[in-house]
Structure 1
Amino acid sequence: MRVPAPNVLHATFRVPPHVGDEAASFVEPLGCCLRAVRRARVDPGDTAVVVGLGSIGCLFVQLLTRAGAAVVGCDPLADRAELAVRLGAAVAGPPDAARRAQHELSGGRGADLVVVTGGGADVLPWAAESLRDGGTVHYFAGGGGAALPLRLEALYHRELTITATYSSSPADLAEAFRLIETGAVDVGRLFTHRVPLERLASGVDLMRRREALKVYVTP
């Protein structure tokens, strides 16, 4: 295996025994989530909605809660919604329940932030309707659609902001490693299945059917 020198210098960490390989595998995705939270500029007391409660969504739930936000999780799968609550979300459930929860938590104003972790552009109208005037939608996932289905008039008159992040910086990775090393972010509960390499196809199938949250593949 060949690793670029900058990665070795700035993005390589010595994994202590109490962390282990499984938890360490979350350093990169957690670093990307950290970058997104910083870009979205969350303030204590904000109401934040996380759309999609897979492993990435559950990382966002924890980071936004740590930032002082009241977090609402949105996912039609009950087991994922239940896990999000155990990880710090105030409420989690399908779209209708999430909409009611953010309305109540925000005192009727609407959410300050909606983080989209899945669903692509189709989620944008729902996300925009969930926001207060001046709120922010942060896209953390690609998806179908070549255009954003939101009228420019709505974006302009409501002063909405749309942001997106794709990767992480060395500083984000270092902070992610620290959060995992100290247990400040729980990644252990995000692994639902473990399969050997020869059963990789079955692990992928579990993810495709949304029967697994995170599959760890061993050599």
Structure 2
Amino acid sequence: MKALIFNGPNDFYYGDIETPECPENGVLIKVISVGLCGSDIRTFTSGHKKVKPPFVIGHEVAGIIEKSDSEYYKEGQKVMLNPGITCGKCSYCTSDKNIKNQCKNLIVPGMNFYGGYAQYMAVPAVGSTPEFLHILPDDFNLDLAPLSETLASVYSTHDFINVTKGDTVLVIGAGPLGNLHSAMAKLRGAKKVILSEVNQPRLDKAKRFDYIDVFVNPTKESLEEVVMRETNGDGVDVAITACPVGSAQEEATHYLRPRGKLLLFGGLPHDNCRVNFDSNLIHYKELQLCGGYSFDPVSFKAALDLIVEGKIDAGKFITHAIPLKEIKHGIEMTRTGEAIKVILKPWEE
């Protein structure tokens, strides 16, 4: 079969490898659509401690059951894989704190076993259950399904930061995550969403979405002035940094109202992950800061349902569907802002 083989940082190629067998009590998926995720781009460029090359990565996988040795699935069914396969047994999975996404024994396709940047993907028994492998309607467009992994992280974090009716929300970063945060805020009842992005083409792309009320390029106008104008000088209820920029995290505290909440969603580079917050600002304004990055099985299913039911218009997010062998073009479009979300097609030439 054709696959994309990762050999190390900035060293990957499209070629032939052996087609996997159907695992015992698992399934073999014919991969129809796989999402190009920002974390995969980081692995391609910088490597990952859990990925030992040569390897096939890719974890946002939608496809059709080619073979099944699982009691839950039959050949021909359309499916979407939840790539956060939790153990259900560790102290985090069994905690009443709703922190299954922090599972100590998390299994991730594209890290723990060969992922979806290939024409076929073997899913072991641990992932071939209704909790992790979701059957989709026969008439559903599989190109839309991979967005569910990205949306699931957003869905989960909005739950614990509790964006609610009447909130004004500032989102910094207009990539797939920032746009999904904007959409989720409106779904949860936010009265106003302000989107900030320094990349003008990316900001222009976001104007296709009707749930964003105010668009700001902070290189052209003061973000703080816009925020204060739009909130009558109070500041926003919630600020979300959906970009890997430390200075954006520091500055976001200045845009919050008293007892406002800041969600640090965009991870920073490992070699530049220190930031300097104004501690007095946090102290006297009684601000709340929290991180967020992943999801549990319940959040994943809820996010997938939002897409299947059309409550999130995935088609507006997925701007490009290209052959898998053109992944380098997809990475470049993502970086420049030409694309919001790229879907890769292993069977297209």
TM-score scaled by length of structure 1: 0.91
For the residue of structure 2 that corresponds to 1:205, the secondary structure is: helix
Larger Rg belongs to: 2
1:35 counterpart = 2:194: no
| Higher RCO, 1 vs 2 (CA within 8 Å, ≥6 residues apart) | 1
Structure 1 or 2: larger helix share?
A: 1
In structure 2, do the counterparts of structure 1 residues 58 and 4 end up closer, same or farther at CA, with 3 Å as the change threshold? Answer: farther
* Cα distance in structure 2, aligned partners of 1:19 and 1:131: 41
Q: Kindly state the Cα deviation for residue 4 of structure 1 after the two structures are TM-superposed.
A: 5.3
- Please tell me the root mean square deviation across aligned C-alpha atoms, in Å: 1.9
Percent of aligned positions with the same letter in both sequences?
23
Equivalence for 1:99: 224
Which of 47, 72, 76 is the equivalent residue of 2:194?
Answer: 72
For structure 1, the 5+ residue unaligned runs are none
Quick check: 2:320–2:339 contact (8 Å CA) kept in 1? Answer: yes
For the residue of structure 1 that corresponds to 2:155, the secondary structure is: helix
Quick check: 1:92–1:98 contact (8 Å CA) kept in 2? Answer: no
Which of 162, 174, 188 is the equivalent residue of 2:301?
Answer: 174
Q: Kindly state the Cα deviation for residue 39 of structure 1 after the two structures are TM-superposed.
A: 1.4
TM-score scaled by length of structure 2: 0.59
Equivalence for 2:273: 146
1:120 counterpart = 2:245: yes
For the residue of structure 2 that corresponds to 1:49, the secondary structure is: strand
* Cα distance in structure 2, aligned partners of 1:8 and 1:97: 50
1:145-187 CA-to-partner distances (Å, cap 9, x unmatched) read: 3322102222212211111112101111111111101100111
Q: Kindly state the Cα deviation for residue 82 of structure 1 after the two structures are TM-superposed.
A: 4.3
1:187 counterpart = 2:314: yes
For structure 2, the 5+ residue unaligned runs are 1-121
The letter for the 2-side match of 1:169 is: D
In structure 2, do the counterparts of structure 1 residues 178 and 133 end up closer, same or farther at CA, with 3 Å as the change threshold? Answer: same
1:103-158 CA-to-partner distances (Å, cap 9, x unmatched) read: 23322100111111103322122211111121111011111333221022222122
Equivalence for 1:133: 258
Off by >4 Å, runs of 4+ in structure 1: none
* Cα distance in structure 2, aligned partners of 1:100 and 1:4: 54
For the residue of structure 1 that corresponds to 2:233, the secondary structure is: coil
* Cα distance in structure 1, aligned partners of 2:140 and 2:214: 29
Question: What is the aligned length?
Answer: 219
- Larger mean Cα displacement after TM superposition, 206-215 or 176-185: 206-215
